[in-house]
Amino acid sequence: MIVDQTLNQIQQNNINQVLENSGIDISKINESDSGDILNFPDILHKILSEKYNTSLLWQICDVFPINGTLGRLYASKKKFQQNDFEIVKKDIVPQTYKISSGFTKEVMDDMKNMFGKSAKESISNMLRGVTDWEENMNLMDFIENNAEEKPELILTADPRDDVLLITQKIGKYVMEMNKYAYKTKEAWAILPRKYIGVFAGYWGGFRMDDTDNEKYLYLGKFGRIHLYIDPRDINETRGEFTNDFNDDYDLDNVVDLDHIYVGLRNEKTPGEGSLVFSPYQYHLEYVTDPDTGQMILHLFDRYGLETGIFHKSLERNSMLYKFKISRII
């Protein structure tokens, strides 16, 4: 599916599609200035409008909104060692993730009384943070389980060589992903926190635009490679989430944070990159806690996540790589 639109138009269309799937009349967003903080359509619109800057799903995946319980991607692929082409397809089935926000009706009323209309923005930001956490953790689990392990990169004892060695390794795998057919020139890499300092202090070829400063996991762009911080390091790099979120998620035992993950993204032709994210619906709803009887606000996040069409398809190589980094002492 090739779309002749600017990226901003594509992003706005994606937001509108998900809002429409969620049963929200887009034309009535922000139509009323009542200041009602329980205006769920306004809150959901704000959450989605910011996700392009905060959730890695919206940043590194090919975004392909679906309007039903089954989505299907199509792409043209050249047959192996032949001059003919064939149409390949991949189904995407959305899953539902129920997330408790911790907001009771009493807390919502207190915030409304204390902050008035501005409470809506604070609530939207906090709810967006909750869904970002869930989406980022699911994404990293998915990448961890589907990425092909490559040989370890051993850095020299001189840290001044780090940028060159890391980017060379990333670039090598970007070329491997495009080995059988050119797919996209945009690539991404997710780095553990311990190695981001070498890029932050390196100015040759490394660019951080003002507009990108809003993306708190985004480090910048090195050539055609977009660099991100591993979100599982988020609690040590940004005081966004409370310790309560970590009680049932043991980061140290989930994955070795010495890995770098590499993939491709095709923003205008979904499915040809490494990952496909299909947002479907977002819903806010009060649910009664069976233990306390309190009404707690829950967010239902429905989306599909799959590898791209060309990932390990027949003779094709992997479209997701990971490799470990160590250093000569």
pLDDT of residue 280 exceeding 80: yes
Pair of tokens at residue 170: 């990333």
pLDDT at 241: 37
Highest mean pLDDT among 166-170, 222-226, 242-246: 166-170
Higher pLDDT, 12 or 142: 142
Range 90-97 average pLDDT: 91
pLDDT at 208: 47
Q: Which residues contact 77 (CB under 8 A, 6 or more apart)?
A: 85, 86, 87, 88, 181, 309, 310, 313
Round to whole Å and give the CA distance between 156 and 160: 9
pLDDT at 136: 92
Domains in the chain, CATH or no CATH each: 7-327 (3.90.1690)
Higher pLDDT, 31 or 189: 189
* Percentage of the chain lying above the pLDDT 70 cut: 78
> Do residues 69 and 94 make contact, with C-beta atoms less than 8 angstroms apart?
yes
Range 296-310 average pLDDT: 90
- For the ranges 69-78, 192-201, 295-304, which has the lowest average pLDDT? 192-201
pLDDT of residue 30 exceeding 70: no
Round to whole Å and give the CA distance between 111 and 123: 9
pLDDT at 316: 58
Higher pLDDT, 6 or 126: 126
Range 95-122 average pLDDT: 83
Distances (CA, A) of 306 to 36, 162, 311: 38, 32, 10
pLDDT at 38: 63
* Beta bridge mates, 189: 227, 262
pLDDT at 246: 43
Rg (CA), the chain: 21
pLDDT of residue 259 exceeding 50: yes
Quote the crossing angle between the two packed helices 105-115 and 119-146, to the nearest 10°: 130
Pair of tokens at residue 312: 């390990």
Query: For all residues of the chain together, what is the average pLDDT?
Result: 78
pLDDT at 147: 94
Q: pLDDT-derived band of residue 264, with 50, 70 and 90 as boundaries?
A: very high
Range 246-263 average pLDDT: 64
Range 218-237 average pLDDT: 77
> Do residues 29 and 41 make contact, with C-beta atoms less than 8 angstroms apart?
yes
pLDDT of residue 169 exceeding 50: yes
Distances (CA, A) of 249 to 182, 237, 246: 39, 17, 5
pLDDT of residue 260 exceeding 90: yes
pLDDT tens track for 47-58: 777 777 788 999
Pairing of strands 275-288, 62-63: parallel
pLDDT of residue 209 exceeding 60: no
Range 127-150 average pLDDT: 92
pLDDT of residue 325 exceeding 60: yes
Q: Which residue has the tokens 């699911």?
A: 138
Pair of tokens at residue 310: 């060309």
pLDDT at 213: 44
Q: pLDDT-derived band of residue 255, with 50, 70 and 90 as boundaries?
A: very low
pLDDT of residue 236 exceeding 50: no
Specify the 3-state DSSP secondary structure of 94: coil
